[in-house]
Amino acid sequence: MVDHNVTSAPGIAGVLGLPKSMVDQTVATLFGSDDLKWARPAPEDTVRARGLRLTDKGRITTQKAAAVAPVRVNQPLVYDQMLWKAAPYDHPRGQAEEDGMLTLPVARSGPIDDGDVTAAEITALLRENGTTNREVLQVKTITQAKARRILPVKLLLYADEERTDIEIGVVVDGELSKAHELALIGHGGAKALGITVAPPPERPLLEPNLEKARVPLEEVTQHRAEQAAFQLGSQTPTPGPPSAPQPEADEIRAIGVFEHPDILDEALTHARRRILIISPWIKNAIITTDFLGKLERRLTRGVKVDIAYGYEDNDTKTDPAAVRKLTNLPPATRTSSPSPASRAPTPRCSSTTTSG
């Protein structure tokens, strides 16, 4: 426009039919990039008045821009319905209910409107994902997929017996998301998800000889706190040649929920005599191909495996497909089929023996 004798911001806004504020912002940006200048006309120029002029750099920029023609494309986009905004997630996936996950509330129900996503937002997402050679000029229309995609996140809950409220954190792609936390609090927080604080059940007593050998919970907690303090304060050790694994002494102690995956993997990898698993439910999220492969290797090595499950008479949380995967193990390796256990204890914090 400037090169065609439209040399004022109001004139450009009038010709293009754009708000003057938008034109003023663009002119300021072009001044900053040395594409525009403010100049008087030459003495022999009796046509143009004082106004905007292209710099030498601006003429080159104009030529390059004229060679670029806008095209209409379909741009896949992930929309976070909890925050009600476009999001940079790469690989959202579904089947949340089958994996036993809770579904977080959405900001509002209904389809996404065309005005809910702007061209600037899409351009910013493209830049964030590494696409720098494309700029979105206009959003023509939005088409929403029929099936919603689910992004798994982790909830961090903080509570104790003396407090009735529950602090909650939301971890998205490995990082705490303050925006999701505030959105969840606005929808009722942990209470809206049916998460409550209940007093812990009394610890069941062991056999007298095992109860005598059991390490008290206070001692376990103190030992773990000392270990964490040492690891935080120590330097990263220099890698050395791997040492031969040493057999661990039998230990009877309280374990936390966060230890269960590591202890289960240790048993499936190194147990030599017997594995006993007692769980309220059997879930697809646990009975994976990796789990079944390790379990079958233990069985072929002569390890006896007993699996007891069941929390109530009407067990609705166990995945039948997961049970079938266990019972379908080759007969030559299956030494003990999973069996329902009436009201088996929930393994929140239980006593266990660990051995080689």
For residue range 188-199, what is the model confidence (pLDDT) as tens digits? 888 888 888 777
CA-to-CA distance for 186 and 107, rounded, in angstroms? Answer: 9
Domains defined along the chain, listed by start: 2-66 (1.10.10.10), 71-151 (no CATH), 154-192 (no CATH), 213-224+249-354 (no CATH)
Asked if 186 and 192 touch (Cβ cutoff 8 Å), the reply is no
Q: Identify the pLDDT of residue 355.
A: 31
Asked if 170 and 187 touch (Cβ cutoff 8 Å), the reply is no
CA-to-CA distance for 196 and 28, rounded, in angstroms? Answer: 55
DSSP annotation of 215 reads B
Q: Identify the pLDDT of residue 274.
A: 93
**Strands, E, within 132-224: which ranges?**
154-158, 167-172, 175-176
Q: Identify the pLDDT of residue 299.
A: 92
CA-to-CA distance for 200 and 193, rounded, in angstroms? Answer: 20
Q: Identify the pLDDT of residue 268.
A: 94
In the block, which residue shows the tokens 């977080």? 104
CA-to-CA distance for 99 and 151, rounded, in angstroms? Answer: 12
Regions of the chain short of the pLDDT cut 70: 1-4, 40-50, 68-69, 90-100, 161-164, 234-250, 331-356
Residues in the chain: 356
Q: Identify the pLDDT of residue 303.
A: 92
Count CA atoms within 13 Å of residue 174 on its CB side: 0
Q: What is the mean pLDDT of the chain?
A: 78
Asked if 167 and 157 touch (Cβ cutoff 8 Å), the reply is yes
